[in-house]
Structure 1
Amino acid sequence: MTKADIYQFIAKQKLGVLATLSSDGSPQSALVGIAVTPELEIIFDTVKSSRKFENLMSNSGCSFVVGWTGEITVQYEGEAHQPEGAGLAHYQEVYFARWPECRSHLSWPGITYFVVRPRWIRYSDFDQNPP
């Protein structure tokens, strides 16, 4: 499985389950709309009043599960950051290319964007014998 193959798989997915840790160490998960770059960075938006925002501000480590139909999935662990300036504009364009309707979120109070850079990725096809 190449980086390009993993990119193609993630790029076909619209949703991912994001897992974060609260400040007391409790696990929390959320279904989020995602976009991906060719460098396998995952982009999503949220509001600053959300638990995921608070969690990522205190601990930038997070994980995703992406894809769950057809027994193919990607497990993904990485570090989240909030892009700024020209970087933010670039990542927003990638995100809006996948989610054009989310341009309207720019008017939401407290809207923010996170980019997650991968540390570890596992692609699994459980339809294969053995997987």
Structure 2
Amino acid sequence: MKAVPLSAALALTALAVCAPVPAAAQPVRAERVTLTNADNGRTVSAHTGDDIEVALTGSRENGLAYFWSIPASDSAVLHRTAGGKTPTGGATARFRVEKDGIATISATKHCHSGGGHLCPLVVVPWKVRVEVK
């Protein structure tokens, strides 16, 4: 067995402790992206493994109530893991980013009339483009 000076041994130990961890060994940290009514028309970036949550809020005005459809994706890039509606016209969904690519999350807002009111024949779209790299 060959003797190693103490200073050399300490230097080697310091290198082992301070050396960066290779990228493959670093843990992947998933992010959470939250989207709301105000994000309509935006483009967002995401990474594989991220979660995207959509929370759309319904509204009431002039005796009319506006309700959202459950948000959906047009691509296998995103997998919807949950979705539902609220009694107040809101809608929610959660998507898991599955792979690289581009997807669109969309929903529509429709009017529901109360007694004595007529809804306008208008459907309001909501869309967000998701770019995954």
> What's the TM-score, normalizing by structure 2?
0.26
Which has a greater percent of strand?
2
- The structure number with the bigger radius of gyration is 2
